[in-house]
Amino acid sequence: MAIERQAEVRNREGLHFRPIMRIVDLVARFEAEIKVANGDRVANIRSPLELLMLTATQGTQLRLIADGADAEQALAALVELIENGLVEE
Amino acid sequence: MITKKGISASPGVAIGQALVLDTEEYRIPRRTIDSAQVAAQVRVLDDALAASRDEVEQLRTAAARRLGEKAAEIFAFHAALISDDQLRRNVVALIENRRLNAAYAFGSEMNRRQREFQHVNNAYLKERVHDLYDIEKRVLRHILGREREDISRLSEPVVIVAHDVTPSQVLLFDRERILGIAVNVGGSTSHTAIIAQMLGIPAVVGLNDITSDIAGGETIIIDGRHGIVACNPDSDTIDRYRRTQRENRATQARLRTLRDLPAVTLDGVDIQLLANIELADEARDALELGAQGIGLYRTEFLFLASQRIPTEEQQFEVFRGAVRHARGRPITIRTMDLGADKIAAHLATHAEHNPDLGLRSIRYCLQHLDLFKSHLRAILRAAAEGDVRIMFPLVTTLMELRQARGTVADVMEDLEEDGVPFARRLPIGMMVETPAAAMQSAVFAREVDFMSIGTNDLTQYTLAVDRSNERVAHLYAAHNPAVLRLIRDVVRAGRRSGVSVNICGQMAGDPAYCELLLGMGMRQLSMPPKDIPEIKRIIRSTTIERCQQIARKVLRFDADRQVINYLREKLRELTEGGEEERATEGAETDDPEGNIARGGVA
């Protein structure tokens, strides 16, 4: 059964290549199938190309939908990363 | 069929197969395959992806070592994009279901993604489209591998379709087989236009994205006069254009018979018609078409064609060739005008923010005296064999002019000491192509033997328009009143100092401006050789009195539009009136915006 959470992109440059790599590294640890949506554009979270195509700028509200055994933990970690962890030093 | 409107760059009609060059000169071959080839193409794709990944990994390691982990991250990102499973699945689907070859499938998938970036309004994210371009090029390079076409040897005639065509590419082209050129960028006097006119082949520029609208092997029609191209034309369109081609050939034949007739007006005033050339060989063709001399021999091509800066001997050989081909007629050699859109990679040491206004041309020469002196030596030595004049480009200050003349004097002394034959008494002149030079022409006139108005650059600088920028190219107009007034002032300054003034920009060869220029006092026009017959015909059909009336009227107008409409009307009067010696089929009249046509084409 799929669960859903929201996350807001907070860093200035939006979802450009560094954040994308960090997201991809993070979700490698989990098994759940996860999708990210920006409006009506949906991306498979394990595809860096699709994440790039989301063109998620600062302030974008992303919908995260996960399905699988560790869906809860995966989404929790993701929301934390996206909202707090992506701000560049 | 798709028709697209661009900017007219070189007249004529070409009908043929397209050869599409992407920005790295790769020719993407025919796109469809049959089912037996599908598996092989998927393998080609996978091999290319693997090879690209390896390449990028190596780059990442090297970058990490030299610049640190942070800098290397972008390569890790590229590697991730190349390894992206979704991407591969999409491309394989195109290969399997649409029967496209790996190159076309990959290019097409990447293209789709790249286009989505056009609407992003965040600068950082928008930049990421360059990552996609990079990956596309890299993977395509591996896919196409040894299939990269050798454009210097073509097996059949083609129409070149490209993003842009640079001078060095043109010099590689198999000239016998190029029917026409269509490019994405550029304006009517961009380098592509000049090259196409030089080759005498139809060209349309400023098409924005023609390279995406046609595939290699498809039929394309180039209508150079009107700036139109038709991709995959239907048979009616093809018939129509074939008819136009026949009419054009007939007109050209008629104009060639004009070659031996003098360029003199009906009221007996002689006009000197000279040619603009870029290659030594062209001097011969120019005389064939009736040129009385060479008004502008551009020396840059020699520098652009070689990998290194040509030596004095190499330059001397080439210049001497041109002088010999001129067979004693006057030939004006312009010192190298490298810079802006012409600079060769090996000479550009710093990327300039604004190359058009930067260290180019005479400024570059005066700051690189070794280069300038060996260039001048070559010119002066070649000058011993003919009637040579020397001219400096882009002069804006008196100081520059004096320094340049001083350098010539120094070089002459050196040659004298070395006992090398050279021309001692050659006329020295300058191009008037900046507003500064035009406005101070009275002052400059006292220190030169002649002046040549470079209307291309003069118009560009006066109107502050980049003529090769397809977004503003429509604002570029030599008939803008401001430019016309500057031309008039230069002519006046010349007359008062007894110094001859000619025009050597594209404007000189454009029939719409001929009577105006004559009416403003020009008695020497230098133009691409192929324009000479038509201009001569106009000169022989008009009177100076009529031209002066036209000039007086035009100089009272305030707007471009008024000027050009009036000039077109006057030209029509003239060419319609002078139809007696012509067959009833009729010919088309030329005009700068390529909109008027009679006979055959809408």
Residue B143 makes CB contacts below 8 A (sequence gap 6+) with: B44, B45, B48, B102, B103, B106
Does B39 contact A at CB distance below 8 Å?
A: no
Give the range among A83-87, B414-418, B540-544 with minimum mean pLDDT: A83-87
Q: What pLDDT score does B594 carry?
A: 35
Domain region containing A52:
3-85
CA distances from B302 to B307, B343, B486, B578 (A): 10, 12, 32, 42
Gap between the Cα atoms of B472 and B91, Å rounded:
38
Gap between the Cα atoms of B511 and B524, Å rounded:
15
For residue B580, pLDDT beyond 90: no
Q: What is the pLDDT of residues B327-336, one digit of tens each?
A: 999 999 999 9
Q: What pLDDT score does B316 carry?
A: 94
By Cβ distance, the residue of A47, A50, A57 closest to B122 is A57
Q: How far is B77 from chain A (nearest CA, A)?
A: 6
Q: What is the pLDDT of residues B68-121, one digit of tens each?
A: 777 678 888 889 999 998 899 999 999 999 998 898 899 889 988 888 777 777
Q: Which residues of A are catalytic?
A: 16
By Cβ distance, the residue of A14, A21, A46 closest to B77 is A21
Q: What is the mean pLDDT of residues B431-436?
A: 96
Q: How far is A84 from chain B (nearest CA, A)?
A: 19
Q: How far is A23 from chain B (nearest CA, A)?
A: 12
Supply the CATH classification number for the domain B2-27+151-251.
3.50.30.10
By Cβ distance, the residue of A14, A44, A49 closest to B125 is A14
For residue B152, pLDDT beyond 60: no
% chain B with pLDDT above 90: 52
All residues of chain A having their beta carbon less than 8 Å from the beta carbon of residue B135 are: none
Does B80 contact A at CB distance below 8 Å?
A: yes
CA distances from A11 to A14, A85, B262 (A): 6, 9, 74
Per-residue confidence band for B209, with pLDDT thresholds at 50, 70 and 90: confident
Gap between the Cα atoms of B321 and B328, Å rounded:
12
Q: How far is A41 from chain B (nearest CA, A)?
A: 12
Q: How far is B86 from chain A (nearest CA, A)?
A: 7
Per-residue confidence band for B135, with pLDDT thresholds at 50, 70 and 90: confident
Q: What pLDDT score does B364 carry?
A: 86
The active-site residue, picked from B231, B365, B504, B547, is B504
Q: What pLDDT score does B151 carry?
A: 57
Residue B455 makes CB contacts below 8 A (sequence gap 6+) with: B433, B478, B483, B487, B503, B504, B505, B506, B507, B508
Q: Is B365 a known active-site residue?
A: no
Does B482 contact A at CB distance below 8 Å?
A: no
When comparing pLDDT for B406 and B210, which is higher?
A: B406
Computed over every residue of chain B, the mean pLDDT equals 85
% chain B with pLDDT above 70: 86
Does B128 contact A at CB distance below 8 Å?
A: yes
The CATH number, out of the four listed (3.40.50.300, 3.10.450.50, 3.90.1150.10, 3.20.20.60), of the domain defined by the range B257-577:
3.20.20.60
All residues of chain B having their beta carbon less than 8 Å from the beta carbon of residue A46 are: 85
> Is the torsion defined by CA of B202, B479, B466, B448 positive or negative?
positive
Would you call B73 and A21 a contact, using CB atoms and an 8 Å cutoff?
A: yes
Take residue B395 and report the two structure tokens written for it: 């002069």
* Whether B192 contacts B164, CB under 8 Å: yes
* Whether B137 contacts B129, CB under 8 Å: no
CA distances from B557 to B461, B479, B488, B491 (A): 21, 10, 14, 19
For residue B502, pLDDT beyond 90: yes
Give the range among B54-63, B316-325, B554-563 with minimum mean pLDDT: B54-63
Sheet holding B203-205, edge to edge: B2-5, B228-231, B219-223, B13-21, B158-162, B178-183, B203-205, B7-10
Q: What is the pLDDT of residues B342-366, one digit of tens each?
A: 444 555 556 677 777 887 889 988 9
Gap between the Cα atoms of B193 and B199, Å rounded:
10
By Cβ distance, the residue of B116, B122, B131 closest to A14 is B122
Return the amino acid letter for B362.
I
Return the amino acid letter for B53.
R
Q: Which residue's structure tokens are 């591969």?
A: B88
Q: What pLDDT score does B340 carry?
A: 42
The active-site residue, picked from B142, B191, B226, B375, is B191
Residue B589 DSSP one-character state: P
All residues of chain A having their beta carbon less than 8 Å from the beta carbon of residue B73 are: 17-18, 21
Interface residues on A facing B, Cβ-Cβ cutoff 8 A: 12-18, 20-21, 24, 44, 46-50, 52-53, 55-58
Would you call A49 and B117 a contact, using CB atoms and an 8 Å cutoff?
A: no
Closest A-chain CA to B113 = A53
* Whether B450 contacts B499, CB under 8 Å: yes
ipTM: 0.86
Return the amino acid letter for B231.
C
Take residue B399 and report the two structure tokens written for it: 């100081």
Query: Which CATH number covers residue A61?
Result: 3.30.1340.10
- Please state the domain extents for chain B: 2-27+151-251, 35-147, 257-577
Would you call A21 and B84 a contact, using CB atoms and an 8 Å cutoff?
A: no
Does B85 contact A at CB distance below 8 Å?
A: yes
SS3 B572: helix
| Number of domains composing chain A | 1
Beta partners for residue A7, in sequence order? A62
Gap between the Cα atoms of B207 and B160, Å rounded:
13
Would you call B81 and A48 a contact, using CB atoms and an 8 Å cutoff?
A: yes
Q: What is the pLDDT of residues B482-501, one digit of tens each?
A: 999 999 999 999 999 999 99
Q: What is the mean pLDDT of residues B284-295?
A: 90
Gap between the Cα atoms of B597 and B602, Å rounded:
7
Q: What is the mean pLDDT of residues B245-262?
A: 83
Q: Is B504 a known active-site residue?
A: yes
Q: What pLDDT score does B447 carry?
A: 96
Q: How far is B358 from chain A (nearest CA, A)?
A: 34
By Cβ distance, the residue of B77, B86, B117 closest to A44 is B86
Q: What pLDDT score does B307 carry?
A: 64
CATH fold group of domain B35-147: Enzyme I; Chain A, domain 2 (1.10.274)
By Cβ distance, the residue of A13, A48, A58 closest to B80 is A48
Gap between the Cα atoms of B225 and B178, Å rounded:
18
Give the range among A61-65, B161-165, B184-188, B388-392 with minimum mean pLDDT: B184-188
CA distances from B360 to B122, B433, B455 (A): 35, 14, 18
Q: What pLDDT score does B572 carry?
A: 92
Most B-contacting residue of A12, A22, A52, A60 (CB-CB within 10 A), to test interface: A52
Would you call A17 and B122 a contact, using CB atoms and an 8 Å cutoff?
A: no
Give the range among B63-67, B277-281, B484-488 with minimum mean pLDDT: B63-67
Q: What pLDDT score does B230 carry?
A: 94
CA distances from B414 to B309, B368, B409, B418, B424 (A): 22, 17, 9, 6, 12
Q: How far is A81 from chain B (nearest CA, A)?
A: 18
Per-residue confidence band for A57, with pLDDT thresholds at 50, 70 and 90: confident
CA distances from B535 to A32, B272, B276, B510, B528 (A): 77, 11, 14, 8, 11
Residue B264 DSSP one-character state: B
Gap between the Cα atoms of B487 and B401, Å rounded:
20
Number of alpha helices (DSSP H) and beta strands (DSSP E) in chain B: 24, 16
Would you call A49 and B84 a contact, using CB atoms and an 8 Å cutoff?
A: yes
Q: What pLDDT score does B560 carry?
A: 92
A&B contacts, CB < 8 Å: 59
